[in-house]
Amino acid sequence: MLALAGGGPIGTTVAFQDGAAAWLAAVYVTPSARGSGLLARLLEPCVRWARDRGAPELRLEVHEDNLRAIVAYARLGFVLTGERRPYPLGPDRDELTMALMLGEP
């Protein structure tokens, strides 16, 4: 998904499937658009896409220091799974896995 405003991109999301799991990646909202509801609008088609493929949940990884993103995802129904892995660009920090249970459409 790509959100455009003022002649340029202001937000992105990518959804992909890995086995039975559906994942979000490349989630970004420009600072000026944060808190506007754009994240929820970008995620809606990703959630529909994952449901349509029968995925039980939509998962994502978020840097442990990105508290604003963790809170934003939690407001949208994502929960921390307890899974973590070293952050590839700085293995002294971790990425946390969050999941949104999809249930029936």
Cβ(95)–Cβ(84) under 8 Å?
yes
Q: State how far the Cα of 26 lies from the Cα of 81, in Å rounded to an integer.
A: 20
Average pLDDT over residues 21-33: 95
Q: Which domain holds residue 70?
A: 2-101
**Domain CATH code at residue 75:** 3.40.630.30
Residue type, position 85, single letter = R
Q: pLDDT class for 105, splitting at 50, 70, 90? A: low
Average pLDDT over residues 26-45: 95
Number of domains in the chain: 1
Q: What angle do CA 88, 32, 44 make, to 5 degrees?
A: 70
Q: State how far the Cα of 95 lies from the Cα of 98, in Å rounded to an integer.
A: 10
Whole-number percent of the chain with pLDDT over 90: 91
- Give the C-alpha distances (Å, rounded to integers) separating 102 from 2, 46, 50, 86, 89: 22, 11, 8, 27, 30
Give per-residue pLDDT as tens, 53-86.
999 999 999 999 999 999 999 999 999 999 999 9
Query: How many angstroms separate the first and last alpha carbons of the chain?
Result: 20
